[in-house]
Amino acid sequence: MAKISAAEVNKLRKATGAGMMDCKKALVEAEGDFDSAIEILRKKGQKVAAKRADRDSSEGAAIAVVNADANKGVVISLNCETDFVAKNDDFVALANDFAQLALNCTSKEELLAADYKGITVEEKL
């Protein structure tokens, strides 16, 4: 088993937003390999998301933006389960980032396939 330092766990946590124990477990499972640990966390996140798919997402952020020429606009509604998440600055920033990306897309499918910090929007969701 690889020796995992608190600094490595913290680095993974900052990169992924996952919990400390999840990051530590992923690093242990990946034998200290940072990229493998990210993939492990991504797969775990997909499983958790699948379990939550039937839950009601009645909170969230609705963002409307227009381009510089004011001839194209989009409205994005990014939903979540709790008002605590909806009020979080990172969540609102994510909704704003998606809205800016959407300005350059012509369909929902194109937005979902768009690159967002090295992954697709769909993967981030």
Average pLDDT over residues 40-65: 77
pLDDT at 12: 85
- 42 and 81 both lie in a single domain: no
CA angle 62–66–72, rounded 5-degree value: 115
Q: Dig out the tokens for 83 from the structure.
A: 């008002």
- 69 and 45 both lie in a single domain: no
- 42 and 63 both lie in a single domain: no
CA–CA distance, 111 with 98 (Å, rounded to integer): 8
Please, which residues bridge with residue 59 across strands?
80
pLDDT at 124: 87
Task: Decide if 1 is inside a domain.
Answer: no
CATH number of the domain to which 114 belongs: 3.30.479.20
pLDDT at 42: 84
13 or 105: which carries more pLDDT confidence?
105
| 55: pLDDT strictly greater than 70 | no
Average pLDDT over residues 52-58: 68
- 85 and 45 both lie in a single domain: no
CA–CA distance, 97 with 44 (Å, rounded to integer): 24
| Mean pLDDT of the chain, nearest integer | 87
CATH number of the domain to which 31 belongs: 1.10.8.10
Average pLDDT over residues 81-106: 92
Highest mean pLDDT pick, 3-12, 22-31, 89-98: 89-98
- 35 and 17 both lie in a single domain: yes
Average pLDDT over residues 5-27: 86
CA–CA distance, 47 with 29 (Å, rounded to integer): 17
- 48 and 88 both lie in a single domain: no
Longest dimension (CA), the chain: 57
- 23 and 41 both lie in a single domain: yes
Q: Dig out the tokens for 119 from the structure.
A: 């992954």
Q: How many domains does the chain have?
A: 2
Q: Which long-range contacts (CB under 8 A, 24 or more apart) does 100-103 make?
A: 100/65, 102/74, 102/76, 103/65, 103/67, 103/72, 103/73, 103/74
Average pLDDT over residues 58-79: 92
**Tokens 């946590």 map to which residue?**
13
Task: Decide if 90 is inside a domain.
Answer: yes
* Domain that residue 44 falls in: 6-52
* Beta strand segments in 4-120, E: 59-66, 73-80, 115-116, 119-120
